[in-house]
Amino acid sequence: MRRYLLLSLLTFLGVRLYAQQDLCATPSAQPGFNIVGPAVGCTPFEVKVEKTSVKNENYIYNYKGGSIPQYESRGDTTRATSFKYTKPGTYKILQYGSGDSNSGSGVITCKTVEVLPPPNYTAKACSNRKVEVVIPKDSSTQRYTGFTIEWEPNVKVPVTTPGTYSYTYGAAINVVTVFVTGSVGNQQLGCSLSTVPIRLNASDLSSTSIRRLILNNDGSVSVSIKAPVGATTAVQVSRNSGAFTTIPGQVTLTKDTVTISLKDINALKDTYCFRLTANDGCANNTALTSNVVCATPLEVKAENRQNVAVWKEYPNAPDFQNYRITRNLVGRGTPINVRTNTTQTDANVTCGEQYCYQVTVQLAGGAESVSPSVCVKAISTEFPSMVQNAFVTVEDDGKLNIYATPPTSGATPSKYRLIISRATSGSADFKEITTLTNALSYTDAAVDPSQQSYCYQLVYENACGNRSQTTASLCSIFLSSKSGSTVDWTPETPFLAPVNRYQLEILDEQGNPYDQVPVGANTSYSPNVSDQQLFRYRILGFAQGGAGNSYSNYFVFKKNAILFIPDAFSPNGDGVNETFAVLGQFVDKSRMIVYNRWGQVLFETDNAIKGWDGTVNGQPAVEGTYVYRVEITDSLGANFVKTGMLLLAR
């Protein structure tokens, strides 16, 4: 019903309708509205209209052709006199209504509105407190006839064409927001893209430098770079004083120090120097060139008892300050300030030890050029002399020990070996028994020095593998007894020097020192001790020249118990020979039994020393011959029995 009424109204107004026709193609001679303000703007763009002479007016703000009922059915008609466009484009505003009172006819009026996008641009911080704005020539900017860059609230700079523009800010400003607006003709449209605050970069590209250059053992180079964050750097290289060429690849710093590895070179053979080019990515800033740092190759050669380090003379004389040499990461001596002095000899080395050397060139501004770390093992052609003060001795615990001190020449205190060979005394068949590392004493647990003497020979091998001559034989002192009345010991020397003298040490049955007897150069001694049955002995030998002393094994010398048993006694009361008793030395326990000739026990006692008084059951025994049995335990616990005949005479 509504559609029918609208068609009737349009017919009444004298409007002819055709499907998809352009009602703006034949505008009315008498316009019905005007646009208040400019008809060109940028998104978002609000248009205001005012009617002139029409009545019952309606507006279609985005008319694209076709009949009015089509727009009405979609709800695209309005009586509002303003509309906001949110997308760029060219739009038609169609007004329809009745004419004024004079004409009385229907009126359709069209106006065109152009909505432009905000001009496209980018803004970024450059070094030295500068900001760069780039306005590209693209679809968003080509419809503008000019632009205005608002660097600061009170600094607006007009420009006529797209391009790259920059502005430097004062020291008091740290964060800025830049706006770019466009104009068409003399009309400033006033819109700008949304921007984020820009933090200014106060760094100076001129601070870009090589701080440290390390030459690796494979010829590659590691370059430590210091530059402002955001700076883009490239490495340039010069070979053998040639022109600098740029190595492909750039690095944009995300922190102020970074290390770059350059592997496709060999800076060990030729002279390579390096520098940097740096820019901050801003078109209006010229790339800067850094300081020059050259690689420093190093060679180290091991010679007899010394290492010689040689490096290339640093080529860039104005920047040179000194050479600093390290050995095993520890500095050696004072810096070398003369650029032409390129060698150093290290004579403080131990053969067989490895030493690593490195040269650091100190340059102006604190830069450094570091050589590879070159390691060599020290060598020597010198053979060591024999060990000194060597001797063998038997310790208190009965074990045989060997001692020595280092050679007087050719020794390598931090690393050496001692080769020990052994033979039994009197044999020339020496066999290697052990090799000690960094030790000059040894306990030979495989021998029993209380059974015989053992002889040893020693060889010293220094860290270079050079061996000394073999020492003379060192033989332990073996103490024994060749008879029941002497102690005897072997005459072979336990020292590298002859024996000067011997001393006999005597210990009692409890192991306490009893006496010390000088025996000179003798190798036998007859003990003269009457009040003890057992003594322990050992020999202490002294070397000529006071080179040391050596002990023998312990030897136990025992005396048998001494007994005297009479064969007759006369218990007649005259006070002479009244009892039959055992006299002896070293007797601990004794027992005596007396028998008659028929084997009957007449007397028995547990103290043979006290003896028998010649009575039987309190009555004098008859004269005659009797049989005795004496059982003895000596002071060492040995048991023995004596039997025999005795005569009782009154």
d(CA 217, CA 214): 10
Q: Are strands 45-51 and 33-36 parallel, antiparallel or unpaired?
A: antiparallel
Last residue of one domain, picked from the residues 199, 234, 265: 199
Find the mean pLDDT for residues 403-409. 96
Q: Give yes or no for residue 100 having a pLDDT over 80.
A: no
d(CA 649, CA 609): 20
CB-CB contact of 532 with 507 (8 Å): no
Same domain flag for 288 and 315: no
Same domain flag for 166 and 217: no
User: Edge-to-edge strands of the sheet including 524-525?
Assistant: 479-480, 487-489, 524-525
Q: What is the pLDDT of residue 290?
A: 93
Instruction: Tell me the CA distances in angstroms from 204 to 127, 172, 254, 453, 528, one per residue in order.
Output: 6, 17, 16, 87, 105
CATH of the domain at 148: 2.60.40
Kindly report the three-state secondary structure assignment for every residue of 278-289. EECCCCCCCCEE
Same domain flag for 153 and 254: no
Same domain flag for 405 and 533: yes
The continuous run of DSSP H or E covering 3 comes out as helix 2-12
Same domain flag for 343 and 455: no
pLDDT tier at 484 (50, 70, 90 boundaries)?
Answer: low
How large is the C-alpha radius of gyration of the chain?
62
Same domain flag for 286 and 324: no
Q: Which residues contact 334 (CB under 8 A, 6 or more apart)?
A: none
What is the CB-side half-sphere exposure of residue 539 using CA atoms within 13 A? 29
Q: Give yes or no for residue 534 having a pLDDT over 80.
A: no
Assessment of whether the complete model's pTM goes beyond 0.75? no
Angle at 387 (CA atoms; ends 543, 469), nearest 5 degrees = 115
Q: What is the pLDDT of residue 30?
A: 67
d(CA 255, CA 204): 14
Q: Give how many domains the chain has, as a whole number.
A: 6
Q: What is the pLDDT of residue 585?
A: 81
pLDDT tier at 414 (50, 70, 90 boundaries)?
Answer: confident
Angle at 223 (CA atoms; ends 217, 226), nearest 5 degrees = 155
pLDDT tier at 532 (50, 70, 90 boundaries)?
Answer: low
Expressed as residue numbers, the domain containing 257 is 205-294
Write the single-letter amino acid at 261. Answer: S
Instruction: Extract the tokens encoding 139.
Output: 């679809």
Return the top range by mean pLDDT from 155-164, 199-208, 251-260, 406-415: 155-164
Last residue of one domain, picked from the residues 99, 116, 133: 116
Q: What is the pLDDT of residue 160?
A: 93
Q: What is the pLDDT of residue 531?
A: 62
**Tens of pLDDT, residues 76-89:** 999 999 999 999 99
CB-CB contact of 473 with 492 (8 Å): yes
Find the mean pLDDT for residues 526-549. 81
Same domain flag for 402 and 547: yes
Q: Which residues contact 89 (CB under 8 A, 6 or more apart)?
A: 114, 115
Find the mean pLDDT for residues 28-40. 85
Same domain flag for 386 and 524: yes
Find the mean pLDDT for residues 538-544. 95
pLDDT tier at 395 (50, 70, 90 boundaries)?
Answer: very high
Identify the weakest region by mean pLDDT among 113-117, 254-258, 296-300.
254-258
Identify the weakest region by mean pLDDT among 132-136, 230-234, 376-380.
230-234
Instruction: Extract the tokens encoding 256.
Output: 């102020």
d(CA 21, CA 68): 10
Same domain flag for 398 and 508: yes
Same domain flag for 470 and 387: yes
CB-CB contact of 363 with 321 (8 Å): yes
CB-CB contact of 21 with 65 (8 Å): yes
Q: Is the peptide bond before 162 cis (omega within 30 degrees of 0)?
A: no
Residues shown for the chain: 650
Q: What is the pLDDT of residue 105?
A: 56
Q: Give yes or no for residue 383 having a pLDDT over 60.
A: yes
d(CA 403, CA 418): 11
pLDDT tier at 381 (50, 70, 90 boundaries)?
Answer: confident
Last residue of one domain, picked from the residues 294, 315, 331: 294
Same domain flag for 186 and 251: no
pLDDT tier at 6 (50, 70, 90 boundaries)?
Answer: very low
CATH of the domain at 360: 2.60.40.10
Write the single-letter amino acid at 622. Answer: V
CB-CB contact of 480 with 474 (8 Å): no
CATH of the domain at 635: 2.60.40.1220
Same domain flag for 18 and 142: no
Angle at 389 (CA atoms; ends 386, 395), nearest 5 degrees = 125
Find the mean pLDDT for residues 102-111. 72
